[in-house]
Amino acid sequence: MTHPLTGVRILELGQIIAGTYGSQVLTDLGAEVIKIETPEGDLGRIPSVAPYKGVSALFLTFNRNKKSIVINLKSDEGRELFYQLVKHSDVVIDNFRAGVLERLKVDYATLSQINPRIIQCSVTGFGSDGAYKGFPALDLVIQAIGGHLSITGEPGRPPARVGIPLADLSGGIFSCEAILAALYQREKTGNGCRVETSMFDGMLNLLSYMATHYLSTGEVPKPQGTAHEFTVPWQAFAAQDGYLVIATRQENFWKKLCVVLEHPELADDARFATNPQRLEHRAVLVPILENLLKQKTVKAWLDKLYAAEVPAAPVNDLAGAFTEPPVAEREMIVEYEHPQVGRVRLPGNPIKFDGMGKTLSRPAPLLGEHTDAVLRELLKLPPAAIAQLHEQGIIK
């Protein structure tokens, strides 16, 4: 089996994370992504962002498998080159602020005249119109305004952000879904379309059942730390040498936990017999469990909990997470050799197709590394024409 998106060509005008993550996922599935950069390059290239040997680890991560060409889209000649690339492509993705596409004359109304089959996907902060269309859409801003900071962290403590740029990543995830749906629709209609996703919308959607509960009841959820609003016990506990989590959603798990703790009588205690009762008496039960779990090491408890099939896990740091057996079993570490920094190891593709083979892993490109090759091979420009474009500062 070939990679399922082999033959799909994407022109990426996106930068940093929200405009790059979705297309990186699509390269894992076989899509060709040509990254169109300004002469200064993607802002994600700034070396101070997750610095690694003088290069941005952020850029090394989100631009694996892509090609980079530099075109000055502010010039008529540069736009004409871009238009020629659009004729040979399936998707254009961007995460510009509202109005930039129109100002650069690369909006859908323009591009669809050039290629009626083109799909344009825009990742925005708050949408391309409306009251907040011009607001800066940094990850922290979206996590805050979208409600996530209010439910993350320990009760009574200051707000805490999710430890990864979840708002940025949500833009990439939902743009990836949108592009796949648009490609499928095009197979039925023969026509492209414009599709938009916003990071704010994405984060509201990811509030999931907590949003449903609030919207239906009016009850505003509060931060719970690792605990669960509706299930007890369901949280992290300190052992002698670290932390582990225990999650007893079903009553049979609670009873098994009590046996593992060598206190089966807890399961028969009227205060703790069912989850609603445990929820009501959380303040009594949790300290009892905390005192018991401090008596052994994380491994000692996990051996017993796994044997009893009680849902539990260590609270791993990244060093621990990447040594768990599924990492190797499912090829969740890939690597490539980068010309500036050498070997780069990074997370693999979580989507597994039967027979697809190993995850593609080619180096994140140097700025403009593929400019000449793409213009020569895709647009059939002769060397003299490419040289003239260099001299005019149209390409780099």
**Could you tell me how many helices (H) and strands (E) the chain has, helices first?**
18, 13
DSSP state of 42: -
Residue 228 among the catalytic residues: yes
Type and span of the H or E element at 91: strand 91-94
Rg of the Cα atoms in the chain: 25
Nearest to 372 by CA among 6, 118, 34, 20: 34
Active-site residue identified among 3, 88, 148, 228: 228
Q: By three-state DSSP, how is residue 23 classified?
A: helix
Q: How many CB atoms lie within 10 A of CB 132?
A: 15
CA angle (208 as vertex; 24, 320 as ends), nearest 5: 55
Pairing of strands 55-56, 51-52: antiparallel
Nearest to 373 by CA among 392, 395, 341: 395
- Token digits for 358? 């190993």
- Angstrom distance (rounded) from CA 124 to CA 106: 16
- Active site residues per annotation: 228
